[in-house]
Chains A and B, each alone.
Chain A
Amino acid sequence: MSLVRLCLLMLLVLALAAIAAVALGETPLTWSQYVQALTQPGSPPGEVLWTIRAPRVAVAALVGAALGLAGATMQGLLRNPLADPGVLGVSAVSGLGAAIAISAGLAAIPGAIELSALVGALVAGGLVVTLAARFREPEVLILFGVALSAFGGALTALVFNLSPSPVATAEILAWLMGSVQNRDAMDALRALIPMAIGVALCLRAGDGLRMLTLGEEAARMSALPMARLRVYAVAGAALLTGAAVAAAGVIGFVGLAAPHLVRALVRDDPKRILWPSALAGALLLVVADLAARLIPTEQELKLGVVTALFGAPAFGLLAWRAARSWRS
């Protein structure tokens, strides 16, 4: 299947999922209410569909696409199918940024938490980019990412520890679990700008990711400006991850799983996998968010909880399969 055809097909499936996600939800609507929502967007059913659900679905799709693309980029750069957007520590530091903003009582200012999360992501991303420019070995980046993640986690725990009120603590916790509840069109638009830059950077790095298939030395001797492309890949993935965390909190496993869903369809190609991974990530998150809304629980399930509940066993399965192929 050609790449264009694959993407069009995935786009179609995503569109169907998005329609289902806008149409279905906690509040069931009758046929006449659907008709009313379509004809009179300002009516109460119209409000439910267009003001509550549609922006939420849009944010879920954007965040999923960003995580899917960031995951595929990191897997290509680190030549490791188990890498994900969080591997460089960007998610953890971005989460820390949000925690600090909430704890400082900035939640009332619209966009303040998001901005703080994005700043966290940029700080972490800057550190990682500096490091990636100096060291070429994937192992160095992964180890540094582990350290940065742990440090970000520790500082977040410190924020919890010093948090003045249990309300703020609960708020931070809820935010960190990841959700696209109560998002409006502004949230989607705000996420769009850093994401667009991230997408452009990751796509530019595509040829370099493919060249890395044969290892660092072969890539360095190729005609490609690898040093620059590596920085594009790291910066792009960091921006996408940061924007995703800013928009929806920390949502695990989508960035890991999305590339795996489409890898066989592009013959393992780290360049051609980029667009399909983004679409797969969007699809995964739209469906996961729909599941979070439809699963009947007292408290609505957090999106990050749903993806982790399904994603963690899937990760185990992947690791199992990878381990078997390493042994043979």
Chain B
Amino acid sequence: MSAIWTLDAVTARQGRKTVLEAASLRVVSGEVVGIVGPNGAGKTSLLRAGLGLLPLEAGQARLSGQPVTSLKPEARARLVGYLPQERRAAWNLPARMIAALGASDLSDTEADALARACLTRVGAGDLADRGVLDMSGGERARVLLARLLATRAPLLVADEPVAGLDPDAQLLTLDLLRAEAAGGAAVVVTLHDLGLAARACDRVVVVSQGRIVAEGAPREALSKDVLAQVFGLDGGLVETSAGLVLAARRV
């Protein structure tokens, strides 16, 4: 299967610091890829470099085979939808207008209808007319997820989509993203919760100090060695009736 998103030995700098070194990644349609790693490991930098938001020192990032930097905004937006970690909104726009920002290619009425449908999917249908600054952080996160879904892009990239959410909202978010993958999209998410990553992702990529140090099915990627060396944890993934969970203590 041809990859929708490839990073080929990508090195990127922010200021003088190398935040990503020779990172390679290949994402295909229909899979959910989880990117995990300690704080400051380079998870967000990996996404940003791959999307052309961070200038590359070396290597190449491609969307559907085309170098990401050569794509015009319109063409790029057709290929990828991005949910940044930042959840601030400058203005108190109603939720339906925020969600409609994901569909700027449609007419106003079409975008509004799609926005409302996406808000309903994320369980925020009744918030459509509420201002985003009048919402709780969790409610706003749902609205921003609705904006991501409204892009209808074949690659959905979400940076920390479940940070700060209730357990129920975390599972809902990942279920929705899994549903998108089941519908044929490729989904890439960064996550802090290793158990959640193991349960929700088909493949896990472990980033540490700007390098990809492990990659594969959750049980392979999050092996006992990786957990100890990268995360300083002694333990492993345990299969339960609800899926994989992490059972570990600090080394």
A79, A207, A217: the one contacting B82 at CB < 8 Å is A217
Q: A207-B104, A211-B104, A267-B97 are in contact. Are A221 and B92 (CB under 8 A)?
A: no
Produce 1/0 per residue, B70-96, CB < 8 A to A: 001110111011111010111111100
Using a Cβ cutoff of 8 Å, how many contacts connect chains A and B?
79
Closest A residue to B91 by CB, please name it.
A268
Judging by beta carbons under 8 Å apart, are A221 and B93 in contact?
A: no
At the interface, yes or no: A43 with Cβ under 8 Å from chain B?
A: no
Q: Is A214 close to B, CB under 8 A?
A: yes
Q: How many residues of A contact B (CB 8 A)?
A: 22
Residue from A207, A223, A224, A270 with most neighbouring chain B CB atoms (10 Å) = A223
Also in contact, A214 and B144, with CB within 8 A (given A226-B73, A268-B91): yes
Distance, CA A269 to CA B51, complexed state (A): 28
Tally B residues with Cβ within 8 Å of A: 30
CB proximity to B under 8 Å, residues A74-109? 79-80
When A211-B104, A213-B98, A214-B101 are in contact, do A221 and B91 touch as well, CB less than 8 Å?
no
Q: Is the CB of A223 within 8 A of B51?
A: no
Q: Is the CB of A223 within 8 A of B74?
A: yes
Expressed in whole angstroms, the minimum distance between the Cβ of B85 and any Cβ of chain A is 9
Contact A267 B93, beta carbon cutoff 8 Å: yes
Is B131 in the interface zone, CB < 8 Å from A?
A: yes
**Residues of A191-243 whose CB lies within 8 A of B:** 207, 210-215, 217-218, 220-226
Q: Which residues of A contact B82 (CB under 8 A)?
A: 217-218, 221
User: Smallest Cβ distance from A222 to chain B, in angstroms?
Assistant: 6
Say whether B131 contacts A211, CB under 8 Å. Answer: no
Q: Are B84 and A211 in contact (CB under 8 A)?
A: no
**B147 contacts the other chain (Cβ, under 8 Å)?**
yes
Complex interface bits, B129-159 against A, C-beta within 8 A gives 1, otherwise 0: 0010000000000001001000000000000
Known contacts A213-B93, A214-B89; A223 and B101 CB within 8 A of each other:
no
The proximity string for A residues 260-285 relative to B, scoring 1 for CB distances below 8 Å and 0 otherwise, is 00000001111000000000000000
Taking Cβ atoms with an 8 Å cutoff, the residues of A that contact B are: 79-80, 207, 210-215, 217-218, 220-226, 267-270
Q: Which 4 A-B pairs have the closest CB atoms?
A: A223-B77, A79-B90, A268-B91, A221-B82
Can you list 5 A-B pairs, Cβ within 8 angstroms, ordered by A? A213-B90, A218-B86, A220-B53, A223-B76, A267-B92
Known: A222-B104, A270-B91. 9 other contacts (CB 8 A): A214-B144, A217-B86, A218-B86, A221-B51, A221-B53, A223-B104, A223-B105, A224-B73, A267-B94
